[in-house]
Amino acid sequence: MAHSSKDQATIVIVGAGSIGLWTAYFLAQAQAGPQHASKITVIDACHSPFAATSRTCTGCIHYAFEADGLVELGRYSFELWDALSHDDAFRSAVSWRSSSIFGVERGDGENLDLLPEWLRRREGWRVNREFLGARNAMVNPIGVGKWLADRCTELGVRIYTSTVLTSVAQDEDGRVHQLICTRDDRMIKVPCEKLVLAGGPWTPAVYEKLFPSSAVHLELVMDAGDWMVFRNPNPSTEKSIAFIGLNNIVHEKLEFAGRDDGTIWVCGRRDTPGALVPLGTAGEVNVRMVAELTGRSYRFLQVQRNDDPESFEELQVESLGRSFRPCTRSGLPMMSAVSLSQLCERSSRRPGSGKVMSQLIRGKDPDIDISPFIIPGKSGGETCSADVAKTIHRSSL
């Protein structure tokens, strides 16, 4: 990482997860060309991009949110996804499949043919094609992370992993002009004109560490959720890419997501509150929840050989872990580019907030009305004069 201000980025994004990389991507796209001298750097404490909460999601793309204020933002994000999905290379890279989110309910057998081959079908079921809205799609979060990192690199964004932001230097007017980081036990000083904190559930702790005298103190509800990834015991087909919600069958959250890489992702109910682990580390799973998810996977996944109930394929565990999701008490995100003492929050893992953030950082009017997300007590006229833009990534669990 260079020390020279001539080579160093003026916009630094802390967090190489979903929101951090989407923001970097849209920023780099907007300023592509020799007339733009600004540089963009992304730093992350983890060993690779998308290494934390961003990669441990179902991969559902939709905008069927309960809060009215989220619908416009969700629709805006979906349109960005949809536009990208017209490119075959993108579709392949992220394993895109439209209209692939299904909810299973008690019923008369309607639409059971839509279910993937890896799910056992039961009498008395029906499939709700609009479980998360009529317009929806599935992606593989791991593929999204790789695609974003590759595109950002191609656009000149520098991504540094295993890099921890420890403090900031401010001028006499309180503006951040330098970041102090550690990497491989070395101290690095990074010139910075604009700072974006996109550390997901760790953002509040990072913010308080960097700006202890700030008047902003976030009140968040931290959810935690355990997940498992199994090897699909059945041959993969196009229909394998599907989300199945069994909430109405088991009367609590139970979700499966099939990938085209031969795996099936599963998660269950959340723990609230969830104890957040230190930055850059992995959370320990709840052993009882893992046992429960395993049992339910044998119950609902197609593991029987030739429909013989006494003979079945043993499910192979590819990986397992715990993810975290912060949210405000109101359930709505707060979003604005603001002065040093303020905050910006983002709900879900879609590109809409990344693009809006990039517009605010560049001093442009956002494409959508963000007034529902303005920080209480802050006027909308201040939103385009940011020294620090701060994003909390709320991940689907």
Of residues 73 and 147, more confidently modeled: 147
Please return the burial class of 320, using the count of CB atoms within 10 Å of its CB with bins 0-12, 13-18 and 19+.
middle
* 361-386: average pLDDT: 60
pLDDT digits (tens, 9 = 90+) for 278-313: 877 778 899 999 999 999 999 999 997 766 667 788
pLDDT the model gives residue 49: 94
Burial of residue 247 (CB within 10 Å: 0-12, 13-18, 19+) is middle
What pLDDT is attached to residue 57? 85
Kindly list the domain boundaries of the chain, sorted by start residue: 11-63+144-215+330-390, 101-135+221-327
Q: Do domains 11-63+144-215+330-390 and 101-135+221-327 have the same CATH topology?
A: no
Quick check: 332 pLDDT over 70? no
Mean pLDDT of the chain: 83
Parallel, antiparallel, or unpaired for β 163-170 and 176-183?
antiparallel
CA-wise closest residue to 276 among 378, 178, 175, 208:
208
Q: What digits encode the pLDDT tens for the residues 76-108?
A: 999 999 999 999 999 999 999 999 999 999 999
CATH topology of domain 101-135+221-327: D-Amino Acid Oxidase; Chain A, domain 2 (3.30.9)
Per CATH, the homologous superfamily of domain 11-63+144-215+330-390 is FAD/NAD(P)-binding domain (3.50.50.60)
Are 50 and 385 contacting, i.e. CB atoms less than 8 angstroms apart? no
Q: Which two tokens stand for residue 374?
A: 């303005």
Q: Return the higher-pLDDT residue of 360 and 162.
A: 162
Query: Are 177 and 193 spatial neighbours (Cβ–Cβ below 8 Å)?
Result: yes
**Tens digit of pLDDT for each residue in 214-225?**
777 666 667 788
